[in-house]
Structure 1
Amino acid sequence: MSAAQSKFVVVIDAGHGGKDPGAVRNGLKEKDITLSVALKLGEMIKANHPKVKVLYTRDKDVFVGLQARSDFANRHKASLFISVHVNSASPSARGTETYVLGLNKQASNLAVAMRENEVMLLEDDYKTTYRGFNPKSTESYIMFDLMQDAYINSSIEFANLVERQYSRLGKPSRGVRQAALWVLSQSAMPSVLTEIGFISNNSDQSYLKSPEGHREIARALSKAFSQYYKRQTATPKESNRSEESKSEGSADSTDTDDSMADSSEPTEPKEPHHEATRVEQPNSTSPEGRSYRIQFMALSKAIDTKDKRFAKLGKPIRRIKDGERYLYTCGDTESLAEARKLRKQIAKQYKDCFIVEYRSGKRIGRVQ
């Protein structure tokens, strides 16, 4: 985001509220914890970043529907949506996990999605609002398999920053995960839902009950936001320096948790290993061997480059294996101007795609 662009707006969403208490244990209610953390987070962001506009989906104990939360963020043209929740499962489960949109059929991820989406049943005429979606039916979740989150890269980038900050608190991080969460699917901006602990676990419950625990969680989220905001508002020169530090393997590079089975990497990845194999070879290079491609996705599993999801891109897709993940690029041109045009075209479907420079088939790095 450049200085010429509109003001950065972050919408903080305190999960549940009003007639919906969320998870409850020993008199402790999720809705109270999330509101406390959300308000503290907002104040920290305001103090650290006066130019950022902070908005809340709720700032008191009131019920707000899932669709209304997304609509609020969309209406205010939010730059980032952060939904704060508390987890609940077996007494042995503990730690944090942060979700981005996606259909992951892993039982634990689906259980979280069902529990969080079930709130819509408390709304009047929910069948009309949610177009017949039944949060209790596994069949209803098939629709998410066809959804393409245009902001997946940025969402995962922020989610990784969040989980890294949680880990620095000494809290067990269960990583970044994907789930079919309605509130994320309807938000037209990078969005995450973060579960800050298990109310069903004695250790986590004690932490979630304490005001200091609330402050620590809010502080971790605030630090993650500061890192993300700095990257999003960096000048091209600053971005290039950041990319160089990442390619050198700095501690601040972004990692994807193994629990995330079908996700895109958020930031410029480290250089692919020499043994990486390309599905298709470059077909356009300058006399100096320079060419430009558009990276639009990185996944932990291989997808056929002729998959129907790529049909609208209208250009050959290349898949490169980079360690445990696969990088996907589109196009191959020796003209940077043409690459910029192509990036704008692809950005209609993949908002945070970017240009990557290659020389003689070797990846050089991201181009601003």
Structure 2
Amino acid sequence: MKLYLDPGHGGTDPGAQGNGLNEKNINLDIARRIRDILEREYRDAYVRMSRTDDSSISLSGRTNEANSWGADYFLSIHCNSFNGAAQGYEDYIHSSLPDSSETADYQHTMHVEITKVNQLRNRGKKKANFHVLRETAMPALLTENGFIDNAEDADLMKDPSWRQTVARGHVNGLAKVFNLKKKEGTSTLYKVVAGSFQSKENAENRVNHLQSNGIDSYVAKITISGKQWYRVQAGAFSDRKNAEEQLAKVKESGVHDAYIIREDR
């Protein structure tokens, strides 16, 4: 599988801005993480990026290179902005494509895998006449990973572990679309997270709640963007199905913001 990976904007074009963030930097970080996961963990996954640093690349330069290389898939990474109130995740294929097209099938798979893990409101699958979707000779998808001018979405964007999780969601979709095979010697751990708090007392209260419902958990101290957080972990599993069963139990106890993070070792 030859993936042309396009971190939107760059250089003199910062993209959307808000809450102290520039879109170009978030896009690049997520894209690098996608590349690194694919190259580290999967066989026969070849990645070329439109930019690997903060450089200016024209839209035609991006699509021309992808077409010349003969990429199997064009994936463009973006963040959104609107009025500060809008939030969530959405993705786009070209407006001329029917829902029965191969590109739409790929979009559906990618959308499902990304929204499983990204903790963002699901704004749905969409179509548009964007250059990178119109001028590419291969199936193409543009993902909008939250609204940078929304404080809640921006707080997630500032968290490196969230950006890693978003990258993982994209990779999970690519692995399904192209039936990618894992390299030998990699192992995966699925952790059920039942909340992250800046207050240790709040984290301990969450643990007490879970334990009163028969769910073992503990508080792990982590640092995100220079700030100390207390993460409540309610299990770690090598089998994702087991993690999903535990997640369902946690949510049944009333903890609706629980989610699974994947760590590869």
Does residue 217 of the first structure (1) align with residue 210 of the second (2)? no
Sort the Cα spacing of 1:188 and 1:36 in 2 relative to 1 into closer, same or farther, 3 A: same
Residue 39 (structure 1) shift: 0.5
- Check the 8 A contact 1:10/1:55 in 2, yes or no: yes
Determine the structure 1 residue equivalent to 2:69: 76
- Check the 8 A contact 1:156/1:176 in 2, yes or no: no
Matching residue within 58, 62, 85 for 1:92? 85
TM-score of the superposed pair, with normalisation by structure 2: 0.64
Give CA-to-partner distance per residue, 1:249-275, whole Å, 9 cap, x none.
xxxxxxxxxxxxxxxxxxxxxxxxxxx
After the TM superposition, list the runs of 4 or more consecutive aligned residues in structure 1 that deviate by more than 4 angstroms: 148-152
**Matched letter for residue 212 of structure 1:** S
Matching residue within 2, 13, 30 for 1:37? 30
Residue 81 (structure 1) shift: 0.4
Determine the structure 2 residue equivalent to 1:159: 107
RMSD: 1.9
More strand by share: 2
**Matched letter for residue 139 of structure 2:** P
Residue 93 (structure 1) shift: 1.0
TM-score of the superposed pair, with normalisation by structure 1: 0.47
Does residue 204 of the first structure (1) align with residue 144 of the second (2)? no
Matching residue within 128, 137, 145 for 1:179? 128
Residue 227 (structure 1) shift: 0.5
* Alignment map for 1:269-284 (pairs within 5 Å): none
Sort the Cα spacing of 1:179 and 1:152 in 2 relative to 1 into closer, same or farther, 3 A: farther
Give CA-to-partner distance per residue, 1:181-224, whole Å, 9 cap, x none.
01110000000100011001111000011111110110000000
Q: Distance in 1 between matches of 2:48 and 2:5?
A: 6
Task: Give the 3-state SS of the residue equivalent to 1:230 in structure 2.
Answer: coil
- Check the 8 A contact 1:96/1:163 in 2, yes or no: no
**Matched letter for residue 181 of structure 1:** F
Q: Distance in 1 between matches of 2:102 and 2:52?
A: 26
Determine the structure 2 residue equivalent to 1:226: 175
Does residue 15 of the first structure (1) align with residue 12 of the second (2)? no
- Check the 8 A contact 1:101/1:152 in 2, yes or no: no
- Check the 8 A contact 1:46/1:52 in 2, yes or no: yes
Q: Distance in 1 between matches of 2:97 and 2:62?
A: 18
Give CA-to-partner distance per residue, 1:19-51, whole Å, 9 cap, x none.
000011132100000000001001111123221
5+ long unaligned stretches in structure 2: 182-265
Residue 164 (structure 1) shift: 1.2
Determine the structure 2 residue equivalent to 1:312: none
Determine the structure 2 residue equivalent to 1:192: 141
**Matched letter for residue 87 of structure 1:** N
Q: Distance in 2 between matches of 1:187 and 1:15?
A: 15
**Matched letter for residue 153 of structure 1:** S
Give the % identical residues. 30
**Matched letter for residue 120 of structure 2:** K
- Check the 8 A contact 1:163/1:173 in 2, yes or no: no
Residue 150 (structure 1) shift: 9.3
Does residue 67 of the first structure (1) align with residue 60 of the second (2)? yes
Q: With CA pairs under 8 Å and 6+ residues apart, which has the higher RCO, 1 or 2?
A: 2
Determine the structure 2 residue equivalent to 1:141: none
Determine the structure 1 residue equivalent to 2:44: 51
Q: Distance in 1 between matches of 2:100 and 2:148?
A: 28
Task: Give the 3-state SS of the residue equivalent to 2:14 in structure 1.
Answer: coil
Residue 152 (structure 1) shift: 7.4
Sort the Cα spacing of 1:75 and 1:191 in 2 relative to 1 into closer, same or farther, 3 A: same
Matching residue within 112, 116, 125 for 1:168? 116
- Check the 8 A contact 1:98/1:162 in 2, yes or no: no
When Rg is computed on C-alpha atoms for both structures, the one with the higher figure is: 1
- Check the 8 A contact 2:99/2:105 in 1, yes or no: no
Determine the structure 2 residue equivalent to 1:136: none
For these two proteins, the number of residue pairs brought into alignment is 180
